[in-house]
DNA sequence: TATTGTTATACTCTATAACTATA
DNA sequence: TATAGTTATAGAGTATAACAATA
């Protein structure tokens, strides 16, 4: 068994190399960590939301979201307001500055991602898409222990 | 643009979920870190080698290899001997205990990986394989800056 | 002077647990 | 008492720089 041909190794190395290319853009060029980038993406994309909703749709746990949100709020990229309905909740929303920065960063990331994906033959792209979707299902379907990244103890 | 459908996000999340399943085995069950696991894999697989050779074929840099090797040597899983030819070099080799532990861990990891992969339709597995290979090439082909994980400054 | 391997430093990420304030 | 969010702590991963020993 050669390590290069061992599927778990291959997947990890390829995904890492791709993620590194993206991080060069939002990280080195726009000063965002991966968690900040995801959080901004989520808030830009959807309605203002609270921490648990965000955790659910970002594959981050509540601690990660809380800390990324604190940093983003410090930079003025998002706002955090206590909910009037339930004062335990905070409602996160993207600010105008946040929107502006996200737009720039997103264009950069998308451009780099497209550059890579468009260097692939269309059939290969389709194969990748199909294979990843199937892998995603297979991991969920065969999960044993507790579900990953639980939000509540 | 929905974050769930954004390719870089999808790839990262799926690869992460898969890697987590593997780490549950070699990590939680056999007490190895990811770097120790890779290093052991490499030494089990090939000839005894020096640090730079290992770095090249493991996607780890020399610092990571050096530290993982120190921990593995402490546990008695590998040996490190100064090369007689060039006394700057150290030759790493797996020990009998290392071999025994690796064999157990590998069986476990392979079993979990196979469980997932065999839950996929054969055509989906083939698509995944083909898509990943193409993605790997595309990332390399479109690389701009310095190559990732350089071993020498 | 250049190279191999090690150590140092700092920051990010991951995983838990404990804490606070509200409900 | 339970829940939402925060803070604390520790370990693992990543990125650089500096260093010692040897060539």
Instruction: Please tell me the predicted confidence (pLDDT) of residue A143.
Output: 84
Whether pTM > 0.85 for this model: the answer is yes
Cβ–Cβ below 8 Å for B3 and A41: yes
Give the pair of three-digit tokens for residue A82: 């206590």
Half-sphere exposure of A1 (CA within 13 A, CB side): 17
Measure, in angstroms, how far nucleotide C6 C1' is from residue B113 CA: 35
Which residues on chain B are in Cβ contact (under 8 Å) with A102? none
Rg from Cα positions in chain B: 18
How many Cβ pairs closer than 8 A exist between chain A and B? 164
Q: Which residue has the higher pLDDT, B2 or A139?
A: A139
Question: At residue B149, does pLDDT exceed 50?
Answer: no
Beta strands in chain A (DSSP E): 78-82, 90-94
Nearest to B127 among A38, A57, A131 (CB): A131
Nearest to A138 among B120, B136, B139 (CB): B120
Rounded to an integer, what distance in angstroms lies between the CA atom of residue A36 and that of residue A26?
9
Closest CA to A11 of A143, A137, A128, A141: A128
Nearest to A20 among B41, B113, B148 (CB): B148
Instruction: Please tell me the predicted confidence (pLDDT) of residue B145.
Output: 58
Q: Which helix (H) or strand (E) holds A25?
A: none
Give the pair of three-digit tokens for residue B13: 């999340």
Q: Between residues 10 and 39 of chain A, which touch chain B (CB distance below 8 Å)? A: 10-22, 24, 38
With a cut of 70, list the residues of chain A below it in pLDDT.
Answer: 1, 145-153
Instruction: Please tell me the predicted confidence (pLDDT) of residue B47.
Output: 87
How open is the CA angle A51-A55-A60, to the nearest 5 degrees?
130
In the block, residue with structure tokens 């990953």: A148
Q: Determine contact: B127 vs chain A, CB below 8 A.
A: yes
């Amino acid at each position: 068994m050669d390590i290069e041909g061992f599927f778990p190794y291959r997947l990890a190395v390829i995904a890492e190399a791709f993620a590194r290319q993206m991080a060069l853009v939002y990280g080195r060029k726009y000063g965002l960590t991966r968690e900040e980038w995801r959080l901004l993406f989520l808030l830009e994309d959807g309605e203002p939301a609270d921490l648990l909703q965000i955790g659910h749709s970002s594959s981050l746990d509540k601690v990660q979201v809380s800390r990324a949100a604190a940093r983003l709020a410090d930079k003025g990229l998002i706002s955090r307001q206590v909910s009037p309905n339930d004062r335990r909740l905070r409602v996160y929303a993207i600010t105008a500055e946040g929107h502006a920065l996200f737009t720039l960063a997103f264009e950069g990331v998308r451009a780099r991602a497209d550059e890579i994906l468009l260097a692939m033959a269309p059939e290969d792209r389709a194969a990748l898409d199909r294979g990843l979707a199937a892998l995603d299902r297979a991991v969920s379907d065969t999960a044993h222990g507790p579900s990953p990244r639980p939000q509540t103890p």
